[in-house]
Homo-oligomer: A and B are copies of this chain.
Amino acid sequence: MKALVYKGPGKKSWEEVPDPVIAKPTDVIVKMAATTICGTDLHILKGDVPEVEVGRILGHEGIGVITEIGSGVTQLAVGDRVILACVSSCGRCSYCRQGLYSHCLDPEGTSGIGWIFGYLINGTQAEYVRVPFAENSVYKIPESISDAEGILLSDILPTGFEIGIQYGQVKPGDVVAVIGAGPVGLSTVMTSALYGPAKVIAIDLDDSRLTRAHDFGATDTVNSGDADWREQVLALTDGLGVDVAIEAVGIPQTFTMATQIVRPGGNVANIGVHGKPVELALNELWIKNLNISMGLVNTNTLGMLLKLVEGHKLPAEKFVTHEFSFDQMLEAYEVFSNAGEHQALKVLIH
């Protein structure tokens, strides 16, 4: 089969590789119908994630059809059309029993982190994929869900909803601020609607992204390049700050911004993947009765979000700005790597 293979820092190839085979009784093999590229894949390609070995097939999002099942699989069958959760989970360990699939103790018997596709094992940017612990890690989907909708459910919609909205404890009537209007930030904006906020404020440096944020459900926008950006945010509240400030960038500055606009008793939800420590002004914040959350997606809401996409309650397809065939994988990378120039959010490769 063909797959996108990591060849070391800065190098990748769309090349012929051996087909995957069933390795454990709980595995299935999926023929991919569609996949996509995530910002994390770009990080890996830069060489920022040294755990990824040369030769690894990248990608952790996708949709396809089961072509083979392991001997221990009883609830899935060849021919099932499924979404692959970006997180693999055994469903039986103490973490999985809590729904904390992101910290599954046995995704392949080793790592203690549920994200392994395109990282510790071969991923989804390929014609076929071996899926471990498949019964807990794939979701059967009806024909009415398109490939475009499906790939959003692998990672980005659950990430925005679980780590931004749920961890941020958004509740009806809240004023919510989302810092960073990229794909994950927009996922947060879109899924915030599931808890009835009064206002959703998108904050970014790029006006074209802010304009697009309105289309995803933001009621207000603030350009954080403005000297008075904080005052603009507070003016959209009762003056005390937002109920929930969501960080969707991953740098110290934006994390600090979140702590500066949240009201006493409010929540800061960090979604961003950080490369450096941040300074937390506990000397000022200890008295503010804040809650700060962070985490890797569990995809334990994937099934629920699927129902909402199916019922046209979440317009997931809005995220897909470009489409490619599998053979155009490298072009897809080219566009996604220069997302700003192409106004790209998510690319559908099918």
Q: Is the CB of B286 within 8 A of A273?
A: yes
CA distance A296 to B25 in the complex (A): 32
Q: Give the residue of B167, B274, B280 whose beta carbon is less than 8 angstroms from that of A279.
A: B280
Evaluate contact between A74 and B26: CB separation under 8 angstroms. Answer: yes
**Most chain B beta-carbon neighbours within 10 Å: one of A136, A195, A198:** A198
Asked if A145 is at the interface of the complex by the 8 Å CB criterion, the answer is no
Docked Cα-Cα span, A196 to B170, in Å, equals 12
Across-interface contacts of A188 in B (CB, < 8 A)? none
Counting contact residues on chain A (CB < 8 A from B), the size range is 35 or more
Stretch at the interface among A11-19, A146-154, A178-186, A297-305: A297-305
Q: Once the chains are docked, how many angstroms separate the CA of A292 from the CA of B303? A: 26
Interface segment, A52-60, A88-96, A208-216, A333-341? Answer: A88-96
The interface residues of chain A, by DSSP majority, are classed as: loop
User: Would you list which residues of chain A between 7 and 45 have a CB under 8 Å from chain B?
Assistant: 24-26
Cβ A173 vs Cβ B279 within 8 A: no
Nearest to A115 among chain B residues (CB) is B287
The answer on a CB contact under 8 Å between B294 and A286 is: yes
B277 near A100 with CB under 8 A, answer no
Known A-B contacts A102-B289, A193-B196, A194-B172; A26 and B72 likewise in contact (beta carbons under 8 Å): yes
**B106 contacts A308, CB within 8 Å?**
no
- Residues of B near A250 (CB, < 8 A) are 286
Instruction: Find chain B residues with CB under 8 A from A100 CB.
Output: 264-265, 289
B residues within 8 A CB of A275? 283
Give the B-binding residues of A (Cβ under 8 A): 24-26, 70-75, 90-100, 102-103, 106, 109, 112-113, 135-136, 167, 172-173, 193-196, 198-199, 219, 250, 252, 255, 264-265, 270, 272-283, 285-296, 298, 300-301, 303-305, 307-308, 310-311, 313
